[in-house]
Structure 1
Amino acid sequence: MLDKPIEEVMNHSDRDIVIPADVVATVNENNNLQHVFLVLTKIKYSKIPVLDVDNHFKGLISLSMITDQMLVDEGLDTDRLGNILVKDIMQTDVHTIYEKENLEVILRYLVDENFLPYVDKDDHFLGIITRREILQEVNFLTHNFDKYFHAEPNEISTK
C-alpha cells in the first residue's frame, strides 16, 4: 500500500498519466506479420498493443516475436510473415489497468513493463500508461512534497 501522503501529492499533479488511444500506435489482430514488422520498424517501438475491429484490447505484439517467426534452418525467411496473423502469435497474458488512480498496482506492474494498456470494464482500449509518465509523476512528487506535507524523521530513520 502506498503511503497516503505520497499518493495524495501525486494526485495533485494536473498531468494525465494516460497517453490516449488515438495517439498510440496499434495493430489489428488480423494484420499479417509483414504489416506489423513494417509498422514497428517505422515507429521505432519494440512492442505495441493489438486490438480487434471494435477496439477491444487483445494483447501485445513485439519485434522479437516477429523475428522469431522469420528464423529458419538456413537463416531468415521474411516471406513467411505474409502468411502469419498477429492473433496467432501475440502475447495475451498481459496486465491491464482499469483504474488509472490505482498507483500501487501501476507501479508494481511497471517494474517489469515499459507500458501498461489502459482499458475500460469492457476491455475497450483507452490508451497506455508508460513508465516515463509515471516517472514524471514521481519527479512532481519529489519537487512538491513539502508544499503539501511536513516530514520529520521518526525513531527508525534516526538509528
Structure 2
Amino acid sequence: MIDQHLEQMLLTNKRKFMIPASLVATVNVTNSLDHAFLVLTKDHYAKIVVVDNDNHYRGLISLSMITDHLLDTHKIAINRLQKLVVGDVMQTNAPVITNPFDVEENLHLLIDQSFLTVVDDDQHFRGIVTRRELLKAVNYTVHNFAHFYQVQNK
C-alpha cells in the first residue's frame, strides 16, 4: 500500500495521467493490416489500441504482431497485408483499467506495459495512461517530497 502522503504528491498533476481517447491513435478491428502498418509506422508507435465501430476496446496491435504474420519460411509474404485484418492478429489479453488514478495498480501494471488502456464499465475506450506520465509524477514526488514533509527517523 502506498503511503497517503506519497500518493497525494503522485496525484498532484493527475489531470495529465490519462490521455483522452480523442488524442490517441487507434485502428478499427476490421481495418486491413496494411492500414495498421501505416498508422504504426507513420506515427512511430510501437503498439496502438484497437476499437470496434462503437468505440469498444477490442485489443492492441503492434508492428511485431503484424510482421510475425508476414513471415514465411523463406520470404516475407507482403500480400498478407491486404488479406488479413487487425482482428486476425491483435493481442486481446493485455490488461485494461477503469480508474486512471489508481496509482498502485498502475505502477504494478506499467512495469510490463508502456501504456494502459482505460475503459468504462461498458468497455468503451476512454484513453490511455502512459508509463511516461506516471514516471513524471514519480520524478516530481521524489524530488519535492522534502519541500512538503519533514521526515524523522523512528
Instruction: Specify the TM-score bucket, using the shorter chain as the normaliser.
Output: over 0.9
1:20 pairs with 2:20: yes
Amino acid aligned to 2:102: N
What SS is found at the alignment partner of 2:11? helix
Amino acid aligned to 2:140: F
1:65 pairs with 2:27: no
Normalised to the residue count of structure 2, the TM-score between the two structures is 0.94
1:82 pairs with 2:82: yes
In 1: Cα distance, 2:63 partner to 2:12 partner = 37
Partners of 1:9 and 1:148 within 8 A in 2: no
User: Which aligned runs of 4 or more in structure 1 are off by greater than 6 angstroms?
Assistant: none
What SS is found at the alignment partner of 1:132? helix
In 2: Cα distance, 1:107 partner to 1:141 partner = 14
Q: Is the alpha carbon distance of 1:100 and 1:81 closer, same or farther for their aligned partners in structure 2, counting shifts above 3 Å?
A: same
Amino acid aligned to 1:145: F
How do 1:9-48 and structure 2 match up within 5 A? 9-13=9-13, 15-48=15-48
Normalised to the residue count of structure 1, the TM-score between the two structures is 0.91
In 2: Cα distance, 1:46 partner to 1:12 partner = 29
Amino acid aligned to 1:106: N
Q: Is the alpha carbon distance of 1:86 and 1:14 closer, same or farther for their aligned partners in structure 2, counting shifts above 3 Å?
A: closer
In 2: Cα distance, 1:132 partner to 1:12 partner = 15
Q: Which has the larger radius of gyration?
A: 1
Structure 2 residue aligned with 1:50: 50
Q: Is the alpha carbon distance of 1:76 and 1:63 closer, same or farther for their aligned partners in structure 2, counting shifts above 3 Å?
A: same
> How many Å apart are 1:144 and its aligned residue?
2.5
Structure 2 residue aligned with 1:102: 102
In 2: Cα distance, 1:101 partner to 1:71 partner = 40
In 2: Cα distance, 1:14 partner to 1:41 partner = 30
In 1: Cα distance, 2:86 partner to 2:36 partner = 8
The CA RMSD over aligned residues, in Å, is: 1.3
**How many residues are paired up?**
154
> How many Å apart are 1:148 and its aligned residue?
3.0
Q: Please list the CA deviations of residues 83-111 of structure 1 after superposition, one character each: whole Å capped at 9, or x if unmatched.
A: 11111111101111101121000000000
